[in-house]
A and B are shown apart, each in its own frame.
Chain A
């Protein structure tokens, strides 16, 4: 079997395939083997899709041999969060109560990757029902607590847990995750991955489990911003099956020149975040060295978090009402989810509509983009939390002030900016709606100057 670093960039993997230094079949077998060992040890796998993967790899090899390569992703194995429908393969949404669920169609994001020649090797583990019932333990999943790629005593983050861990364990070329409020950004930070939450509507939600129709986003979790760009380009674009998709063309490679990076007020001291502050200041130095301007900014204070909570309760309870009222609710792994989802049924319509009206009012926060092009902030003030402690005893604050980014559908790109006791620390660039190019440019330039994103877990 040919030798290739399973942590290679997508550009390197694609070139190796096209130059026939390795076949897609060989690459697929390497990743399948790693999924069976490392992926299983870290509980990152919900379902291996071995027979489909081998078939898709054989087809990719035939295309490559005849010079009819479909895209730069042709022949490269990938995994998807188990929230995305895959034809004929179990899609359990991380929930023990959905153990026998199988769809007869593919989610649009999955079919677009397969149309680009991608090889689906695994459905990746996730928090049950994407955590809509306010989960409080890492084990809130049909597959148990998913463990961080860098430290098996720590949690991999959620709800796209397996996507973050498997990507940084070198078990897949890249993966897809989803975010309602933090579910791409958090596992990216806790695993040292680079994750791209696109603008709301940029990627079709068709075939994705709905937690919140008005907040859910699908995005790539990769090992670099450049890889995220390749994957996002393949999955973005309007879809007649999802009316919320936007028609604006994704343009990641605009010539933006020097940018203004906004810094919001941080709470390092209150969170005793010495290492995080060091990493954050060091990242700012990198940006200054690159010639970007750094400016202090503030976002109008509004109860954004409360609005998100109400929307998650109302839309989540509605989307899953049949399940919540049914006998299977109590099969969920985390009792907090059981009680939380049941109570969410009682969210008043006036509360929900207040939250949706607050979203209109929150558009005032767009004024921050008069002063800066993108905002840089830590994802959390700490590295991944212990896997065996309830979150109310382990989680600190998220970086920056509680912002409106998810309410307003702003994109963000999370990437590692340093380490704390052997575990990665994440930073993120948040951009205005439709301006993924700003996030992409700033994250990519940072990664050209630093090596944090290239760190590999010692045991992988």
Chain B
């Protein structure tokens, strides 16, 4: 079997990898928060150090827990946030 791929195919695979869609299965962590931290880390200009990454993982887990916790408080359906947009008058 020929392992060579066309330039077009290579570009497509590279682009998918950039989107995180073609990451080798061994690199996918079993810990979803860890995966999220790795994804977040890639968005930063400078990779987080190991201590900061551990704290970011805990903080991210807390952010995700907050979503679950806040869903326990049911707000009136369709209620408005305390701030609504007010169109500005032209000066």
Contact = CB atoms under 8 A, between A and B. Distances in A.
Nearest to A409: B82
Nearest to B44: A325
A455 interface: no
Given A335-B51, A338-B48, A353-B81, A310 B66 contact: yes
A354 B52 contact: no
Interface string B53-87: 11111111011001101100101100111110000
Interface in A339-368: 339-340, 342-348, 350-351, 353-361
B75 A357 contact: yes
- Would you call the interface of chain A mostly helix, strand, loop, or mixed? helix
A360 B79 contact: yes
A214 B83 contact: yes
Contacts, number: 107
> What interface size band does chain A fall in?
35 or more
Contact of A342 (B56, B62, B81, B82): B56
B59 A340 contact: yes
B1 interface: no
B52 A361 contact: no
B interface, size bucket: 20 to 34
B46 A329 contact: yes
A303 B40 contact: no
Contact of B48 (A330, A348, A355, A357): A330
A52 to B, nearest CB: 33
B70 A351 contact: yes
A74 to B, nearest CB: 34
Contacts of A329: 44-46
A336 to B, nearest CB: 6
Given A327-B46, A338-B52, A338-B55, A343 B81 contact: no
B26 to A, nearest CB: 25
10 contacts: A303-B73, A306-B69, A325-B45, A326-B45, A335-B49, A339-B57, A343-B57, A343-B60, A353-B81, A360-B82
Given A303-B69, A339-B59, A357-B81, 9 more contacts: A306-B66, A307-B70, A329-B44, A339-B55, A346-B40, A346-B63, A351-B63, A351-B67, A353-B81
